Amino acid sequence: MKNEELADIFNEIADLMEIQGEQPFRIASYRKVARILEELTEDVETLLADGRLAKIPGIGKGSLERIEEYLKTGKISTHQELVKKVPKGLLKLTKVPGLGPKTIALLWKEMDITDIGQLRKAINSGMIEKLPGMGAKKVEKISKGIDFVIRSSGRIPLGIALPIAEELITQIKKIAGVKKAEIAGSLRRRAETIGDIDILTEASDGQKVLEKFTKFRQVREVLASGSTKASVRIQDNIQVDVRVIPAESFGAAWQYFTGSKAHNVRLRKIAIEKKLKLNEYGLFENEKQIAGANEEEIYHKLSLPYIPPELREDRGEIENADKLPTLIDRKDIKGDLHMHTTASDGHNSPEEMIRACIERGYEYMCITDHSKSSAIAGGLDETRLRKHIAAVRKLAEKYKNEIAVLIGSEVDILADGQLDYDDGLLAELDFVIASVHSALSQPADKITKRVLKVMENPYVRLIGHPTGRLLAQREASAIDVAKIIKQAKDTDTWLELNSSWQRLDLKDVHLRLAKQEGVKICICTDAHSIDQLDYIQYGIYTARRGWLEKEDVINTLSRKKFMELVKQRKR
């Protein structure tokens, strides 16, 4: 799929145009198209071929031509021309916080600075302070920005950021005078990765609260601290912004700082159509505030229902406001069907895992250790698996009044598309997950066919972590998810939403596509220890971002219904 490549080029065009000082609205158009391309769940080539691409709002005639040009020639002439005019190193400069397109253009035109190295030199020599609009403080800010870009590893996974933010909230709430402290930003939307942590507070003496906050033990560097806002950096270069908001505006500010930007733009447009004005202080009719203390009020005054943060991405939540899904909740999950034990590479015994699942209130669970080819993960050969089956069945009997314990396996899909055990052995298991763990870099058609084939196997119930991505570590495989979804429907195979925060696989837009196609999702943790069973929360958040309801998720079924289903053969 060329979707990502195209999105990158459109973003790059926008960056280059900004440096060139092009019209902001043209630039915004390119960024919008880039975002659309990123979020497509189908191959852009297919969508172009059958005319659906042209129907997507935001993609006009010009973008369509450019996309077509890229698919035909591998290049976009608009992009090539810009690249010729603007030195390549300048693109990296756009990543420096505090350095915007205007300043980059100034540095380039006045001092011939075209990359970070030259900028650093110019700062050290004191030369750039002589430029118009440049002072000691601005230079210092840029200098720190360069340090940040060089050290920074990019975006922070949800599973790292959320516990840190929750701890900060606990500490902030202990400061005298703090009435409220809430997470905002992409973290509140439970995006899979986040840029920084945004926290809003309501307090009697804002300045004092912010001063105390900047002295927290976690704080490594204070970037700014005023009467309404403080910015700091904590471990791993994570930036935390805390704002103090008056009570009458708290809802408006929470809405505003939760975003997404695209969602907020839509809301403000609706406000304008109603002759109102929406900003972070409230919703205003002329000069009079008509909503602001809470979020619900704002949505209602805009003739919208309350929209859950996970949906606020401008992915149809405004157009479909009258038929928003009743999003799945953690309490809907009745069992976890993917976990490892000491039999392969897990840290806890089967019995420990069973007790932990009982503690979590589950009605059923499945133990799924690795198959023989996953040698590094201690995969079980046929003999060891048969012993393991017997051992787990014994435990299942022991705990049957508290929980239904199934014995399954996470069976490798080998590079040639064969499964790691023969059908005879698969038939002895209650539940089979098939997963790709090797040859992840196969070309799209090969890796797709490999998975399509095993889905025809009557014992394969679930495809584990279908794209194989590891957030911030490994790209998704080239697998064609749309085809996998279609095959899942045709073969009555379920697809996993792997809840490990390193995976979150399938991701939100894929889940939404699966839902539209009527394919059932299984939200599992792939836990390798008792603690990791709680990763289920990240799966739930991602499911909500994918618009999933209880009915779309197989492991929301009661024990009775689930057991009946799993006893039947597929199809």
Q: Tell me which of 277, 483, 486, 489 binds DNA, using CB under 7 A.
A: 277
User: Are 233 and 214 spatial neighbours (Cβ–Cβ below 8 Å)?
Assistant: no
Which DSSP state fits 155?
A: P
The distance of closest approach from Cβ of residue 319 to DNA in the complex, given in angstroms and rounded to an integer, is 12
Stretch that binds DNA, among 98-106, 289-297, 375-383, 460-468 (CB under 7 A): 98-106
User: Residue 40 phi/psi, 5° resolution?
Assistant: -60, 140
Rounded-to-integer distance, Cα 426 and Cα 263, Å: 47
* 278 contacts DNA (rule: CB under 7 A): yes
* Residues 6+ away with beta carbon under 8 Å from 439: 415, 447
Name the residue nearer to DNA (CB basis): 28 or 390: 28
Q: Tell me which of 12, 182, 192, 198 binds DNA, using CB under 7 A.
A: 198
Q: Tell me which of 38, 280, 492, 549 binds DNA, using CB under 7 A.
A: 280
The residue among 343, 370, 356, 336 whose CA lies nearest residue 522 is 336
Considering only residues 220 to 239 of the shown chain, the ones binding DNA according to CB under 7 A are 224, 226-229, 239
Rounded-to-integer distance, Cα 27 and Cα 66, Å: 15
Compute the half-sphere exposure of residue 55: CA atoms within 13 Å on the CB side of its CA: 5
The distance of closest approach from Cβ of residue 284 to DNA in the complex, given in angstroms and rounded to an integer, is 8
Strands in 217-362 per DSSP E: 221-225, 229-233, 239-244, 277-279, 282-285, 288-291, 335-336
The distance of closest approach from Cβ of residue 554 to DNA in the complex, given in angstroms and rounded to an integer, is 37
Stretch that binds DNA, among 25-33, 314-322, 385-393, 399-407 (CB under 7 A): 25-33
Token representation of residue 171: 């500490």
Stretch that binds DNA, among 92-100, 378-386, 449-457, 546-554 (CB under 7 A): 92-100
Name the residue nearer to DNA (CB basis): 307 or 406: 307
The full length of the chain comes to 571
Q: Tell me which of 89, 98, 177, 458 binds DNA, using CB under 7 A.
A: 98
Name the residue nearer to DNA (CB basis): 176 or 224: 224
Rounded-to-integer distance, Cα 148 and Cα 232, Å: 13
Q: Fill in the per-residue mask, 254 to 273: x = in contact with DNA (CB under 7 A), - = not in contact.
A: ---x---x--xx--xx-xx-
Name the residue nearer to DNA (CB basis): 100 or 518: 100
Considering only residues 103 to 142 of the shown chain, the ones binding DNA according to CB under 7 A are 103-104, 132-139, 141
H or E segment to which residue 172 belongs: helix 158-173
Name the residue nearer to DNA (CB basis): 62 or 117: 62
Stretch that binds DNA, among 164-172, 247-255, 277-285, 506-514 (CB under 7 A): 277-285
Stretch that binds DNA, among 90-98, 299-307, 322-330, 371-379 (CB under 7 A): 90-98
Considering only residues 142 to 171 of the shown chain, the ones binding DNA according to CB under 7 A are 145
Query: Is residue 51 packed enough to be buried (19+ CB in 10 Å), middle (13-18) or exposed (0-12)?
Result: exposed
Q: Tell me which of 87, 89, 97, 417 binds DNA, using CB under 7 A.
A: 97
Rounded-to-integer distance, Cα 328 and Cα 547, Å: 8
Q: How far is C-alpha 482 from the geometric centre of its chain's CA atoms?
A: 19
Token representation of residue 257: 């700082």
The distance of closest approach from Cβ of residue 108 to DNA in the complex, given in angstroms and rounded to an integer, is 12
Name the residue nearer to DNA (CB basis): 38 or 492: 38
Name the residue nearer to DNA (CB basis): 222 or 321: 222
Q: Tell me which of 45, 196, 211, 285 binds DNA, using CB under 7 A.
A: 196
Rounded-to-integer distance, Cα 11 and Cα 3, Å: 12
Residue linked to tokens 């590079």 = 415
| Region label for 201, one of left (φ > 0), alpha (ψ between -120 and 50) or beta (otherwise) | beta
User: Residue 30 phi/psi, 5° resolution?
Assistant: -60, -40
Q: Tell me which of 34, 101, 178, 183 binds DNA, using CB under 7 A.
A: 101
Sheet holding 282-285, edge to edge: 277-279, 282-285, 288-291
Q: Tell me which of 63, 249, 498, 542 binds DNA, using CB under 7 A.
A: 63
Considering only residues 405 to 464 of the shown chain, the ones binding DNA according to CB under 7 A are none
Token representation of residue 38: 């990123």
Token representation of residue 311: 């949906």
Residue type, 206: G
The distance of closest approach from Cβ of residue 486 to DNA in the complex, given in angstroms and rounded to an integer, is 28
Report CA dihedral (307, 311, 315, 316) to the nearest 10 degrees. Answer: -30
The distance of closest approach from Cβ of residue 434 to DNA in the complex, given in angstroms and rounded to an integer, is 41
Name the residue nearer to DNA (CB basis): 57 or 424: 57
Chain residues that interact with DNA, rule: CB under 7 A: 23, 25-26, 28-30, 33, 57-64, 78, 96-104, 132-139, 141, 145, 185, 195-196, 198, 224, 226-229, 239, 241, 257, 261, 264-265, 268-269, 271-272, 277-281
